[in-house]
Amino acid sequence: MSDFLVHPFQLYNLFFSSCKQFNRFIHQRTGRLPKNAYLFQLAFQHKSLYPGITQNNERLELLGDAILSAAVTDYLYRSYPEQTEGFLTEIKSRLVSRSQLNQIAQTLGLNQYVQADISEEDLQRNAILGNTLEALTGAVYLDGGYTAARKFIEKKIIKDVINLEDVIQSDDNYKSKLVEWAQHVGKEVRFRQLKAETINGHQYFTCGAYMDDQLVGQGSGYSKKEAEQLAAKEALATWSNEHHSN
């Protein structure tokens, strides 16, 4: 459907529906006038709201995760024709990482409409906002097809929210930096898993960075890699503060 052709249901949802404020929010954030408003409402409904009932955003989240990954890869493939597969894979993984998706969702203000029976603190700590973004992507896809979802991801996320060059230039391999520094001062670094738990259906890890068997940093994330990177980041920050205070 052309961007200039609007279905009567879409105009109704935008101006006359009892959910017109929510529908306007969706239009502003996705660039799309919802045809099936229920899909978008479901995208914001976390399973904690009605435990044991399947009417939540988990299925949309699963679908949106796949669409988001495909659209980001598609965009990077077309935007960087001279780059290697390794480069594309690395930048894609940064763009769709759990922490990045949480941050994007926060910037888009999705937290305003999330329906969940949890505290605001848990909402920020857990992956719920990033999951909601994935579910929203799934809703856009079902409502308008892949082209609509791709436009949403490219324009409203990659171009409007993310500074792609900053993502490419960022050097966030704290683990390598810590190992390199430890070798420089004649110490050995090891990473250990301290805890693993399941939060909202996702595994959540806590790892520690040890230098000569002494805990020097700790981090948590939705993968061991992310947790180890955050542990290394904390260790480097601690070392930097001690170095500058002496």
Q: Could you give the residue numbers annotated as active site?
A: 65, 134
Region of 71 (left: φ > 0; alpha: ψ -120 to 50; beta: rest) is alpha
CB-CB contact of 134 with 202 (8 Å): no
Please say whether the dihedral angle defined by the alpha carbons of residues 216, 222, 223 and 229, taken in this order, is positive or negative: negative
Residues 6 or more apart in contact with residue 56 via CB below 8 angstroms: 42, 45, 46, 47, 49, 50
d(CA 32, CA 17): 16
Residue 36 CB burial class (10 angstroms; 0-12, 13-18, ≥19): middle
